[in-house]
Amino acid sequence: MEKYFYHVVTERPMYLGQIITFDNNNHSGVYNRVINKIEIVKDIIANPSKYKQEELDHHTKVALRELALEQVRKEKYPNYPSRLESLYVSKNLEDAEMWANSFIANGREVFQIVKLKTDGNEFIGDAYNCFEGNIDEKQNILNAYNYWENRVNKTGNTPIWETLIDGKIEVIEIIKDFTKKNIR
Tens digits of per-residue pLDDT, 12-39?
Answer: 999 999 999 887 777 888 888 899 999 9
Model pLDDT for residues 132-167, shown as the tens digit of each residue: 999 999 999 999 999 999 999 989 999 989 999 998
pLDDT at position 114: 98
Pairwise CA distance, residues 32 & 61, whole Å? 14
Average pLDDT estimate for 56-63: 95
Model pLDDT for residues 100-120, shown as the tens digit of each residue: 999 999 999 999 999 999 999
* Beta strand extents in the chain (DSSP E only): 3-9, 19-21, 87-89, 112-118, 122-126, 161-165, 168-177
pLDDT over 80 at 181, yes or no? no
Domains along the sequence of the chain with CATH: 3-177 (3.20.170.10)
Asked if residues 92 and 6 have their Cβ atoms less than 8 Å apart, the reply is yes
pLDDT at position 176: 96
pLDDT at position 123: 97
pLDDT over 50 at 93, yes or no? yes
pLDDT at position 28: 82
pLDDT at position 107: 94
Average model confidence (pLDDT) across the chain:
93
Backbone angles phi, psi at 116, to 5 degrees: -125, 155
pLDDT at position 182: 47
